[in-house]
Amino acid sequence: MTLAVESNDEEGTQTSIVSADLAPFTLPPAPADVRAQAKELAARFAERHREVRLHPFEHGELHPELWREIIERGWPGLLVPAAHGGS
């Protein structure tokens, strides 16, 4: 990957070229597993996407079937560190 950076100083514009060999980013096993589960869940609800997306606006809560799936997978706990009871 090559990146050109321009900077302006009192003497004029200076351009620097930076080059770096970046390895492709891969997720660790736990986040990759959550990602795979999320894709599977999205595929299962895909045909009912309109119903699921409108449910919070019409009822003030997430679609109950979707929320049940999220709870069963422990995803709400992902936002809480394990030291404090999270997943």
pLDDT above 90 (res 18)? no
Across 27-42, average pLDDT: 88
**Predicted pLDDT of residue 77:** 87
**Predicted pLDDT of residue 84:** 83
**Predicted pLDDT of residue 28:** 73
**Predicted pLDDT of residue 71:** 94
This prediction's pTM: 0.60
Across 9-18, average pLDDT: 64
**75/45 Cα distance (integer angstroms):** 17
Cβ(38)–Cβ(10) below 8 Å: no
Residue 41 neighbours by CB under 8 Å, 6+ apart: 66, 69, 73
Residues in the chain: 87
